[in-house]
A and B are shown apart, each in its own frame.
Chain A
Amino acid sequence: MKVFLNRQEICVGSRVTLKELLLGQSITPEGIAVAVNNRIISKDEWAETFLSNNDKVTVIHAACGG
């Protein structure tokens, strides 16, 4: 199946968790936040959050700004 990680299409296995997806992309938990289909998933929920086909995963971190 495919998911979208920050708008980038990624092919993944059928039973993949959010944690597996992020670690596979070298994304570490410090200073970031994640939403799946615009719902915030806290870090302690990553391991039990299974992704579905076409899920939109958003990962943000800090940027400079006023």
Chain B
Amino acid sequence: MSKLIIGGREFSSRLFVGTGKFSSNDLMQQAILASESEMVTVAMKRVDMDAPQQDDILAHIRKESIQLLPNTSGVRNAEEAVLAAQLAREAFGTNFIKLEIHPDPKYLLPDPVETLKATEELVKMGFVVLPYIQADPVLCKRLEEAGAATVMPLGAPIGTNKGLRTRDLIEIIIAESRVPVVVDAGIGAPSHAAEAMEMGADAVLVNTAIAVAGNPVEMAIAFKEAVIAGRRAYEAGLGAQCAHAIASSPLTSFLD
């Protein structure tokens, strides 16, 4: 299978994973290892002044093969996103940033105007910007022109596990994009991930579906296998669909 390149770094795995919602940091670590993911997201929060030495989650994630992908979750506009990205660069020593600006807590849908503005600014500052966005093909082109390293259209709202509700739009995005397309959010089952990969998505980002599974480590393996299968199928070239039956066995009668 071909390798994925983002921000000059080569990735063998096309499964990106998140670190939210696991019942413990140990379980999170086991699931990440089992997923064999090389791109792992982290969020940021203020240090609790009453317990400044609390468990450092980075210790559970840091590994040579893993690229940390800090996100800007919690910001409400481009200005805050730029500050958050700078904080992430200082704290984690990486230029990679998952840009997410979703001011409305009910649906967590990304603000396209602020996202484009922040992307333009962050690219100038040398960041490798992976913007989380609505599955909007026009916006994707604008982000690409602004220098985004990828586009990350949503399949369905964050944490809903509903799958590729935006499938038709993601198809257009994949067809038109010159930067890698990472389907983010809403992927709730390995079959959803495989579907995105078969369509030609370059990677998928999965968090909730692994973290809240009955057995997160097994689910991480299931997603890993689904992503590999989906990508392999895409590269192999899927057969065309047809409205009527086409026999796969000879129809010449051999019984008289």
In the assembled complex, the Cα of A61 lies from the Cα of B92 at a distance in Å of: 9
Residues in chain B within 8 A of chain A (CB atoms): 18-22, 25, 28, 41-49, 52-53, 56-58, 70-71, 73, 83, 86-92, 158-159, 205, 207-208
In the assembled complex, the Cα of A38 lies from the Cα of B42 at a distance in Å of: 21
Q: Are A31 and B56 in contact (CB under 8 A)?
A: yes
In the assembled complex, the Cα of A20 lies from the Cα of B52 at a distance in Å of: 15
Tell me the nearest residue of chain B to A27, going by C-beta. B52
- Per the CB 8 Å criterion, the residue count for chain A at the interface is 27
Contact of A60 (CB < 8 Å), options: B20, B44, B49, B159 = B44
Q: Are B20 and A58 in contact (CB under 8 A)?
A: no
Q: Are A31 and B92 in contact (CB under 8 A)?
A: yes
In the assembled complex, the Cα of A5 lies from the Cα of B50 at a distance in Å of: 11
Q: Are A33 and B88 in contact (CB under 8 A)?
A: yes
Report chain A residues within 8 Å CB of B158: 66
Report chain B residues within 8 Å CB of A65: 18-20, 41-44, 71, 73
A64 within 8 A of B: yes
Which residues of A18-39 are within 8 A (CB) of B?
Answer: 25-28, 30-35, 38
Report chain B residues within 8 Å CB of A60: 44-47, 87, 91
In the assembled complex, the Cα of A60 lies from the Cα of B45 at a distance in Å of: 5
Q: Are B88 and A64 in contact (CB under 8 A)?
A: no
In the assembled complex, the Cα of A33 lies from the Cα of B86 at a distance in Å of: 9
In the assembled complex, the Cα of A64 lies from the Cα of B226 at a distance in Å of: 24
Report chain A residues within 8 Å CB of B20: 64-66
A11 within 8 A of B: no
Q: Are A63 and B45 in contact (CB under 8 A)?
A: yes
Q: Are A63 and B43 in contact (CB under 8 A)?
A: yes
Report chain A residues within 8 Å CB of B208: 66
